[in-house]
């Protein structure tokens, strides 16, 4: 068993080196076997086929990215930490473009890979710290998605642009734009006045972190839904989305038909 694990790791390292040095076209089963010093039957036994190898290689890329992200640690300033996460994401993608495209850019769903999920988890927790400090203009979930989506867009755009034509200032400008959109910070300007949205996001995170039992589970879920809608209301208004247009289909909260939400509610 240990021998198989070591062999698998050796094959993945060899494949990753080929991918980083020579690009996706270089990652043939024959080339990977030669680089790893194994026979094709060994590769097929461990990975099934080339698609299985590529999936494992994407997971290996997420593990490398996660290790670098975990090494960042955190400071007392969540906004500074968001900036460091952003810079790491940009640097990782531009230094390993073929790996990055395999991880994020092929349109193949790989969102359930544990290391990839945890990289988003670190981002979400950092955004949540900003929310708990009252520094968000929207819900933690939406802010996390916006930050992640913009990071992906910047890296993929730069990768697709010939190096001599790339704008080296684009990542920094994009980050400041996202920061102004999701937080009350940005460009060193004085903080914006505390809004309903930032208060709602802060209360949402405070309740989540506290583990309070003052509300039943269904009451807590309903309050969380309301707070998320309040946190996102200003951003929706900015793009012309009315509160009545928020789709309930995507909400986790549903009122049971019995009128009772749990055992405690039955006695109220």
Rounded Cα–Cα distance for residues 267 and 144 (Å): 39
The per-residue pLDDT for 260 is: 39
Domain boundary among 171, 191, 211: 191
- Of residues 99 and 258, the one with the higher pLDDT is 99
Q: Write the pLDDT tens digit of every residue in 81-119.
A: 999 999 999 999 999 999 999 999 876 767 689 999 999
- Of residues 124 and 208, the one with the higher pLDDT is 124
Tell me phi and psi for residue 55, to 5 degrees. Answer: -60, -45
Rounded Cα–Cα distance for residues 238 and 48 (Å): 50
* Pair (39, 70) in one structural domain: no
Number of domains in the chain: 2
The per-residue pLDDT for 191 is: 52
In a domain, 94, yes or no: yes
What number is the average pLDDT over the span 146-159?
96
Domain that holds residue 70: 53-191
- Of residues 204 and 36, the one with the higher pLDDT is 36
Residue 38 has pLDDT above 70, yes or no: yes
What number is the average pLDDT over the span 23-32?
93
Rounded Cα–Cα distance for residues 194 and 133 (Å): 11
In a domain, 206, yes or no: no
Rounded Cα–Cα distance for residues 220 and 210 (Å): 12
Q: Please, is 73 exposed, middle or buried when counting C-beta atoms within 10 Å of its C-beta (0-12, 13-18, 19+)?
A: exposed
Query: In this predicted structure, which of 38-47, 139-148, 156-165, 177-186 has the lowest mean pLDDT?
Result: 177-186
Contact 243, 198 (CB under 8 A): no
Structure tokens that stand for 264 in this block: 């405690």
The per-residue pLDDT for 214 is: 79
Residue 28 has pLDDT above 90, yes or no: yes
The per-residue pLDDT for 193 is: 54
Q: What's the chain's average pLDDT? A: 83
Query: In this predicted structure, which of 87-91, 159-163, 185-189 has the lowest mean pLDDT?
Result: 185-189
Q: Write the pLDDT tens digit of every residue in 203-238.
A: 777 777 777 787 888 888 888 888 888 878 766 665
Residue 23 has pLDDT above 50, yes or no: yes
Q: Please, is 32 exposed, middle or buried when counting C-beta atoms within 10 Å of its C-beta (0-12, 13-18, 19+)?
A: buried
* Pair (43, 118) in one structural domain: no
In a domain, 223, yes or no: no
Angle, alpha carbons 233-239-240 (nearest 5°): 80
Q: What is the DSSP letter of 262?
A: S
Closest C-alpha to 119, from 96, 97, 80, 89: 89
Residue-by-residue DSSP string for 15-48: HHHHHHHH-GGG--HHHHHHHHT--HHHHHHHHS
What number is the average pLDDT over the span 43-71?
95
Rounded Cα–Cα distance for residues 44 and 78 (Å): 45
Task: For the beta carbon of residue 79, count every other beta carbon within 10 angstroms.
Answer: 18
* Pair (77, 179) in one structural domain: yes
In a domain, 98, yes or no: yes
Task: For the beta carbon of residue 215, count every other beta carbon within 10 angstroms.
Answer: 14
pTM: 0.73
Find the length of the chain.
268
Rounded Cα–Cα distance for residues 179 and 138 (Å): 12
Residue 189 has pLDDT above 50, yes or no: no
* Pair (34, 64) in one structural domain: no
């Amino acid at each position: 068993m240990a021998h198989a694990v070591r062999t698998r790791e050796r094959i993945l390292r060899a494949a990753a080196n080929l991918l980083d040095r020579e690009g996706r076209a270089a990652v043939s089963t024959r080339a990977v076997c030669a680089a790893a010093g194994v026979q094709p039957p060994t590769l097929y036994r461990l990975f099934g086929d080339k698609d299985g190898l590529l999936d494992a290689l994407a997971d290996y890329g997420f593990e490398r990215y996660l290790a670098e992200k975990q090494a960042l640690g955190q400071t007392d300033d969540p906004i500074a930490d968001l900036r460091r996460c952003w810079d790491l994401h940009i640097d990782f993608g531009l230094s390993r473009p073929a790996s990055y495209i395999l991880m994020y850019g092929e349109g193949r769903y790989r969102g359930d890979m544990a290391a990839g999920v945890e990289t988003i988890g670190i981002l979400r927790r950092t955004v949540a710290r900003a929310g708990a400090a009252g520094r968000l203009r929207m819900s933690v979930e939406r802010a996390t998605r916006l930050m992640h989506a913009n990071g992906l867009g910047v890296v993929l755009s730069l990768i697709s642009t010939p190096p001599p034509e790339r704008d080296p200032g684009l990542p920094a400008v994009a980050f400041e734009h996202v920061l102004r959109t999701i937080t009350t910070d940005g460009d060193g300007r004085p903080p914006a006045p505390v809004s309903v949205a930032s208060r709602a996001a802060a209360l949402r995170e405070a309740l989540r972190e506290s583990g309070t039992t003052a509300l039943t589970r269904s009451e807590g879920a309903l309050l969380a839904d309301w707070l998320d809608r309040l946190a996102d209301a200003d951003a929706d208004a900015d793009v012309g989305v009315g509160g009545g247009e928020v789709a309930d289909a995507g909400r986790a909260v549903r009122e049971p038909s019995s009128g009772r939400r749990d055992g405690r509610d039955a006695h109220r």
